[in-house]
Amino acid sequence: MPAEPQIDVPRHLFEAYERLAAGPTRPIAGGTDVMVAITGELAPIPERMLDLSRIDALRGIQLEAGSLVLGARTTYTEIRRSALCREHLPVLVEAAATIGAAQIQNRGTLGGNIANASPAGDMLPILLATDAAILVGGQRGEREIPAKDFFIAYRKTALAPDELILHVRFPLPPGREVRFRKVGTRRAQAISKVVMALAWEDFGSTGWQNVRVALGSVAATPIRARKTELILEGARPTPEAADLAAEILVRELNPIDDVRSTADYRRMVSARILHRLLREAGGW
Amino acid sequence: MPTRAFTSGVQTVERALVVDPGQRVPGRAAGFPLRREGPAKLTGAAKYTDDLVFPGAWHGITIRSTEAHAKLVAIELDPDVDWSKVVVATAADIPGDNVVASIKDDQPVLVPVGGVIRHHAEPVALLAAPDKETLRRLKGRIRLVTEPLPPVFDPEQSDHVFAKYEVTTGDLALGFAGADLIVEGTYRVGHQEQLYIENNAMIAVPGDDGGIVIHGSLQCPYYVHKALKRALRLTHVQARVIAEETGGGFGGKEEYPSMIALHASLLALKAKRPVRMIYERHEDISATTKRHPAIVRHRSGVTKDGVLVAQDVEVIMDGGAYCTLSPVVLSRGLLHAGGPYRCPNVRLRACATRTNTPPNGAFRGFGAPQTEFAAEMQLNRIAERLEMSPAELRRRNVYRLNDTTPTGQVLRESVAAEEVLEQALGASHFERIRERTARESAERGGSGTIPPGPLRSGDRRVANGIGLALGWHGAGFTGSGEVYIGSIASVELTADGRIRVLTANTEMGQGTKTVFPQMVAAELGVPSDWVEYAPQDTAEVPDSGPTVASRTVMVVGGLVIRAARRLKAAVEERNPGVPFHEAFRDDAKANGATRIDQKFEAYPGVVFDDATYVGDAYPAYGWAAAVASVEVDLDTAEVTVRDVIAVDDVGKVIHPVLCEGQVEGGTLQAVGYATLEEMKVRDGRYLNDRLATYLIPTAMDAPHIRTILVEAPFSGAPHGAKGVGELPMDVAAPAVIAAIHDATGVWIHDLPATPERILAAMHGDRGAPAA
Amino acid sequence: MSAYRFLVNGAPAQVDVPGMRRLLDVLRDDLGLTGTKEGCGEGECGACSVLLDGQVVDACLVPVCQVEGRIVRTVEGLSLAARERGSLDTLQEAFLEHGAAQCGICTPGMLMAARAYLDAGGGPDDESIREAIAGNLCRCTGYTKIVDAIVAVATPLE
């Protein structure tokens, strides 16, 4: 039987904020990361914990002023079943389906994936590629943190210890396309070796605008490949552009060897899936 | 702490539904009995070791080494802790010999102070406490003081040899001189974890007589029994071992349970109360045995017509830190190393050495999957060099009746190699699909808008491939093993008119509890559910040998059938003219119990010299072929194994549903071995020792498996059966690798064929390292 | 330590335990429902799968404080429903007939994942079934007969 730290079960945000302000507290939502860490003694056992499962303010999927807003406690199953997600940002549905299997999708939450900030977090490249913003709150008030500023170091985020993730806002600019590809270790229950989200806006004559190339599992945090983005900015998805982008991406990435894969594979495969996504976008 | 609300008294409370085990339901199993313990397993009523409740039991854990090789100078207990509330056991507490009885007695139960730690995660001390919280708090307060010693991790650099064999036949030099083509290859396979879903679990209950009763998850009650007697100095009766419901074994619960039972017993004797040693997954993976890694070097000579004329094979196995079963694993590996092919001039050499890594041991296939992978790779590469179909090359060399193996064994009967080959080729449309994949491959290479390169694939995203492998598996123990252990199995008519089968062979999913009563019932002419299967309790059943080597149905089943026949004859002789099924109840009333003990007798005409390795290495062989079809993602080198046709000759099918289940399960383990399963080792430590990092196939990774069963009976066994458990494990991996080659054009010489290896082979060093 | 109340297999249960105790430990140790198995303790193997408000979850990842007021169904609950009819339920029966249980340790979790799939209206399509049980590792069967058994139950009777 694993360690059983004390836990508070608030029903309202203000109660949660009070608890967080009172001292070091580890929140738990779906538990798919925290419970593993406690059972496996993979990290120091938290002294106090905070259950978010009764706070309804953290739930819900809605459209708000040109953005899709997902509550932090939205589970992957809820994303997969959401008509709004399917209509406005289907890549979320696609990505949610690649995470774990039914048991994990039923419990794991978007907010948990973000707070856990694993470099392999499958949803995180999508946040970066779509310029999503993370709304956080605490007794000191609420603030919105752009996804690009959120993941600051290996498993370290811009979230203060007394703050909670409340919502994630995905802007929905017209004409934007987003693609997703995960290369896992197996076909289900798989942690990614490389995960990529590619976004662009296409208005016809001007070439691609606001190109985003975001990756997971290739660095200490989820990252954007800025040099590769620059190459594609204003370009069209031609074979030449794809070749060049793949070459730049290979040079831009600096992944590591670990138990799941090798640096070489991650670098090569990142380039190859980018090339493939560009090829599919270009229809050649 | 709350009490267990629904438990009381000793052991367990039967809360859940119990369905009459003999109850029949119409459906696929019609005509054959349904899995006997199936209803209990399906309702949650079946009790595995960790489900058993022993009031007052403490929990035990193992304090393990963190170095691969070191001298143990001292075990220090933190003086700030009150150790009187718990129990600590060390080697000093072992009443008998500090060895886990096995082939060589080189493995200590616990490393003694002053002794040598030989691998990471080696047991050094034991700790028991009333609750797990105390264990968690105290386990870090026991400190091992050590002096590091230089470790050896490369089996080829080790100077400590556990076993070494050589088999030669014909004249190798002459053979190679007559060859038109000589092909060489080096193949490597790594550790594989058995990954039974039930972790190791053992509960020791001290008795009033100074003895110990073990309740555990295990394959071989009498192995544990022997180990207890030796290390704890117990009499035959004082040591008692009961195999509880066992959640998978695959060889992984063959020898290591002896160690765990000893640990639990030492704590139980010292604490004077039951002690539970229930491993967590992390500990189970990091400490217990794995399939032996191996390096296999081949040099083969063939004529231009594809006739094998010379085979020179060298096998090196990494035994890990202790001998365990390495000599017999190596022996089986060696004897299967040439593959199921006739060759006049052969030299097979094998050696297993010691390294400072956790010991390797039994795993389904027992050395043969390693060497047969290499043999099939070699054959496929020869076929490629000869520009001959791999099917045709096999046809020209496969063993036929009256062929002679390298040990001089004449295959006088039960040879179904051609049969399984042709069935697999026919069922899979092998040649037709191979033509198609070759055409696709040519198109891919020729017509793409841009040629593929390191950073991109061509215009096709996936490539299809098909691959073939053929294999054999010696049935039962190697050489004189059966004669040496002299198993006994019994069938009993009890005084109250019940029919019971008594063996020590455990049920761990294969169907022992179903097929033994089925076989006895068939002999006696009674319904299967009239026959009971006695519990695997050393106080009750005779030593019918271990549940290993695919020997349960073949060898012990043969004894059980013979015992049943004798029982029937005895009863019918006492009741002339009345068939057994009508006579036995009254006979029991009149004559009391009749118990027939059937001892193993050597199979007629089967002779093997263990010293010279000449003769009949196995009484018979099972034959298997597999055809795998794969899809390889050309961007990422991810492999999807789509289908496997598995054709297995098992001698005689006793129960089709259970038999297919063995083939399907073994096939998927082999597919995992080929594609996914890899222990990563650094400094003698397994890096991926969790289920999140050691990956086995999920239902989405599993191919569609079609099983075709072939029957070429073995005359030495009364039912003709040759065993099925291990056979499918030998062939699917090389079939998958051949299919990957068919799809991509690259040979992967080292298992598993991960996307990393495939991509590197496709675009890094083309052609892959041939070493 | 607090009291947590919930329904298990249709019957009310109350346990007085720390809120972070795993539902798995509550079921096995506090309620004596040992049909739910532990295979890894980290949500990888699915042996501890149970239904929580009808959704399949790994009981090793659920702290009991999150179960307060909710409905839990375990493998023992499948047989309870069947007990009234005097036999196994249709899914258990199909597993038995098809040979879908071997060593049996993954079986309770596998049944619960399959139950969730069927209760959600899942059909006899091979790929969907495999996806539904992808969180449940089996080392014995190669999954073939498990899929066959679920197909048999999911196939509408003519």
The per-residue DSSP string of A164-195 comes to EEEEEEEE--TTEEEEEEEEESSSSS--EEEE
DSSP states along B244-312: -B----TTTTTSHHHHHHHHHHHHHHHHTS-EEEE--HHHHHHHS--BPPEEEEEEEEE-TT--EEEEE
Q: Is residue B425 classed as helix, strand or coil in its secondary structure? A: helix
Residues C18 and C34 in one domain: yes
Query: How far apart are the CA of B636 and the nearest CA of chain A, in angstroms?
Result: 6
DSSP C30: I
Residues C60 and C97 in one domain: no
Establish if C46 touches chain B: CB-CB under 8 angstroms: no
Instruction: Give me chain A's average pLDDT, please.
Output: 97
Q: Which fold has domain B487-599?
A: Aldehyde Oxidoreductase; domain 4 (3.30.365)
Query: What b/e string do you get for B709-740 counting C-beta neighbours within 10 Å, with b at 16 or more?
Result: bbebbbebbbbbbbbbbbbbbbbbbbbbbbbb
pLDDT score recorded for residue C81: 62
pLDDT in tens, B448-480: 456 778 898 888 899 999 999 999 999 999 999
User: Which stretch of A167-171, B24-28, B602-606, B688-692 has the lowest confidence by average pLDDT?
Assistant: B24-28
Does residue C8 contact residue C33 with C-beta atoms inside 8 Å? yes
Establish if C66 touches chain A: CB-CB under 8 angstroms: yes
Q: Which fold has domain B398-477+614-764?
A: Aldehyde Oxidoreductase; domain 4 (3.30.365)
Is residue A78's pLDDT more than 90? yes
Does residue B355 contact residue B392 with C-beta atoms inside 8 Å? no
* Residue B3 pLDDT level (bands cut at 50, 70, 90): very low
Q: Do B196 and C78 touch (CB under 8 A)?
A: no
Query: How far apart are the CA of B663 and the nearest CA of chain C, in angstroms?
Result: 8
DSSP B243: E
Q: Which residue of B has its CA nearest to A40?
A: B282
pLDDT score recorded for residue B226: 98
Candidates B414, B233, B47; CA nearest to C108 is B47
What is the distance of C-alpha C89 from the center of its chain? 13
Q: Which residue of C has its CA nearest to B662?
A: C141
Q: Do C141 and B661 touch (CB under 8 A)?
A: yes
pLDDT score recorded for residue C82: 56
Pick among C5, C16, C20 to test the A interface (most A CBs inside 10 A): C20
Q: Do C116 and A1 touch (CB under 8 A)?
A: no
Q: Is residue C121 packed enough to be buried (19+ CB in 10 Å), middle (13-18) or exposed (0-12)?
A: exposed
Mean pLDDT of B29-50: 91
pLDDT score recorded for residue C2: 87
* Residue A201 pLDDT level (bands cut at 50, 70, 90): very high
Q: Do A7 and C19 touch (CB under 8 A)?
A: yes
Q: Do C19 and A100 touch (CB under 8 A)?
A: no
Residues C94 and C61 in one domain: no
Q: Which residue of C has its CA nearest to A49?
A: C20
Residues C86 and C39 in one domain: no
The vertex-B654 CA angle with B649 and B656, nearest 5°, equals: 75
- Report the C-alpha gap between B49 and B275 in whole angstroms: 12
The ranges of chain B annotated as CATH 3.30.365.10 are 398-477+614-764, 487-599
The helix (run of H) or strand (run of E) holding residue B205 is: strand B201-206
Does residue A172 contact residue A88 with C-beta atoms inside 8 Å? yes
Among C27, C53, C74, identify where a domain stops.
C74
Q: Do A104 and C135 touch (CB under 8 A)?
A: yes
The helix (run of H) or strand (run of E) holding residue C49 is: strand C49-52
Residues C89 and C48 in one domain: no
- Report the C-alpha gap between C144 and B28 in whole angstroms: 14
Q: Do C58 and A103 touch (CB under 8 A)?
A: yes
Query: What b/e string do you get for A134-167 counting C-beta neighbours within 10 Å, with b at 16 or more?
Result: bbbbbeeeeeebebbebbeeeeebbbeebbbbbb
Q: Residue A237 has which token pair?
A: 């998805």
Task: Spell out which residues of chain C touch residue A107, defining contact as CB-CB under 8 Å.
Answer: 57-58, 61-62
Establish if A204 touches chain B: CB-CB under 8 angstroms: no
Q: Is residue B70 classed as helix, strand or coil in its secondary structure? A: strand
- Report the C-alpha gap between A109 and A38 in whole angstroms: 18
* Those residues with Cβ within 8 angstroms of residue A35's Cβ, 6 or more apart along the chain or in another chain: A28, C22, C42, C43, C60, C61, C62, C63
Residues C123 and C58 in one domain: no
pLDDT score recorded for residue C87: 73
Separation of first and last alpha carbons in chain B: 60
Candidates B507, B539, B502; CA nearest to B240 is B539
B vs C: CB pairs below 8 A = 218
* Those residues with Cβ within 8 angstroms of residue A86's Cβ, 6 or more apart along the chain or in another chain: A93
Does residue B171 contact residue B350 with C-beta atoms inside 8 Å? no
Cα B2 to Cα B307, C19, C69: the distances in Å are 73, 13, 20
* Those residues with Cβ within 8 angstroms of residue B730's Cβ, 6 or more apart along the chain or in another chain: B336, B365, B368, B369, B372, B471, B472, B473, B624, B670
Query: Residue C106 is which amino acid?
Result: C
- Report the C-alpha gap between B307 and B348 in whole angstroms: 19
Q: Do A103 and C21 touch (CB under 8 A)?
A: no
A vs B: CB pairs below 8 A = 84
The vertex-A15 CA angle with A10 and A19, nearest 5°, equals: 95
Q: Do C62 and A31 touch (CB under 8 A)?
A: yes
Is residue B20's pLDDT more than 70? no
* Residue A8 pLDDT level (bands cut at 50, 70, 90): very high
Query: How far apart are the CA of C147 and the nearest CA of chain B, in angstroms?
Result: 9
Listed by number, the residues of chain B in 601-640 with a beta carbon closer than 8 Å to a beta carbon of chain A are 635-638, 640
Cα A61 to Cα A123, A137, A162: the distances in Å are 16, 18, 25
ipTM higher than threshold 0.95: yes
pLDDT in tens, B654-693: 999 999 999 999 999 999 999 999 999 999 999 999 999 9
Q: Do B449 and A242 touch (CB under 8 A)?
A: no
Phi, psi of C97 (to 5 degrees): -65, -40
Query: Residue C100 is which amino acid?
Result: A
Residue ranges in chain C modelled with pLDDT below 70 = 81-86, 158
Q: Which residue of B has its CA nearest to A100?
A: B692
Q: For C97, which of B12, B27, B250 is closest by C-beta distance?
A: B27
- Beta strands per DSSP E along B4-102: 58-64, 70-77, 87-89
pLDDT score recorded for residue B30: 56
pLDDT score recorded for residue B765: 54
- Report the C-alpha gap between B729 and B332 in whole angstroms: 14
Q: Residue B252 has which token pair?
A: 């992984």
Q: Residue B310 has which token pair?
A: 């010379």
pLDDT score recorded for residue C79: 75
- Report the C-alpha gap between B603 and B487 in whole angstroms: 13
**How many residues in total does chain B contain?**
771
- Report the C-alpha gap between B757 and A195 in whole angstroms: 19
- Report the C-alpha gap between B763 and B752 in whole angstroms: 18
Q: For A103, which of C19, C25, C43 is closest by C-beta distance?
A: C43
- Report the C-alpha gap between B220 and B231 in whole angstroms: 17
Q: Do A32 and C61 touch (CB under 8 A)?
A: yes
The vertex-B455 CA angle with B449 and B456, nearest 5°, equals: 30
Residues C140 and C95 in one domain: yes
Instruction: Give me chain B's average pLDDT, please.
Output: 93
pLDDT score recorded for residue B452: 79
Neighbors of chain A by Cβ distance (3+ pairs < 8 Å): B, C
Query: How far apart are the CA of B695 and the nearest CA of chain C, in angstroms?
Result: 9
Residues C70 and C85 in one domain: no
Task: Spell out which residues of chain B touch residue C95, defining contact as CB-CB under 8 Å.
Answer: 38, 42
β partners of residue A145? A134
Candidates B158, B42, B501; CA nearest to C107 is B42
pLDDT score recorded for residue B450: 64
Q: Which residue of A has its CA nearest to B132?
A: A1
Q: Residue B186 has which token pair?
A: 């080096």
**How many other C-beta atoms can be found within 10 angstroms of the C-beta atom of residue A226?**
12
pLDDT score recorded for residue B446: 58
Residues C67 and C83 in one domain: no
Q: Residue A133 has which token pair?
A: 């913003």
- Report the C-alpha gap between A140 and B729 in whole angstroms: 62
Q: List the alpha helices (DSSP H) in B387-429.
A: 390-397, 417-428
Establish if B4 touches chain A: CB-CB under 8 angstroms: no
Query: For chain C, what is the domain count?
Result: 2
pLDDT in tens, B61-74: 999 999 999 999 99
Q: For B16, which of C42, C76, C146 is closest by C-beta distance?
A: C76
Q: Residue B198 has which token pair?
A: 């039930």
Owning domain of residue C47: 2-74
Residues C119 and C68 in one domain: no
Q: Do C43 and A35 touch (CB under 8 A)?
A: yes
Find the CATH number of the domain harbouring C67. Answer: 3.10.20.30
- Report the C-alpha gap between A146 and B521 in whole angstroms: 73
Establish if C94 touches chain B: CB-CB under 8 angstroms: yes
Among C35, C58, C74, identify where a domain stops.
C74
Mean pLDDT of A112-133: 98
Find the CATH number of the domain harbouring C82. Answer: 1.10.150.120
Establish if C142 touches chain B: CB-CB under 8 angstroms: yes
Establish if C19 touches chain B: CB-CB under 8 angstroms: no
pLDDT score recorded for residue B488: 98
What percentage of residues in chain B have a pLDDT greater than 90? Answer: 92
pLDDT score recorded for residue B314: 98
Across the beta sheet with B239-243, what order do the strands follow? Answer: B87-89, B123-129, B58-64, B275-278, B201-206, B212-216, B239-243
pLDDT in tens, B411-436: 999 999 999 999 999 999 999 999 99
Mean pLDDT of A176-203: 96
Does residue B472 contact residue B394 with C-beta atoms inside 8 Å? no
Query: What b/e string do you get for B117-135 counting C-beta neighbours within 10 Å, with b at 16 or more?
Result: bbbbbbbbbbbbbbebebb
Task: Spell out which residues of chain A touch residue C25, defining contact as CB-CB under 8 Å.
Answer: 1
Q: For B35, which of C44, C101, C130 is closest by C-beta distance?
A: C101
Residues C140 and C115 in one domain: yes
Listed by number, the residues of chain A in 178-197 with a beta carbon closer than 8 Å to a beta carbon of chain B are 183, 185-191, 193
* Those residues with Cβ within 8 angstroms of residue B523's Cβ, 6 or more apart along the chain or in another chain: B561, B564, B565, B568
pLDDT in tens, B521-556: 999 999 999 999 999 999 999 999 999 999 999 999
* Residue A115 pLDDT level (bands cut at 50, 70, 90): very high
pLDDT in tens, B393-411: 999 999 999 999 999 999 9
The torsion of the CA quartet B400, B403, B409, B410, rounded to 10 degrees, works out to 90
Residues of A with CB under 8 A from a CB of C: 1-7, 9, 28, 30-32, 35-36, 38-40, 49, 51, 53, 77, 100-104, 106-107, 187-189
Q: For B17, which of C79, C98, C142 is closest by C-beta distance?
A: C79
A vs C: CB pairs below 8 A = 102
Report the half-sphere exposure of B729 (CA within 13 A, side-chain side).
30
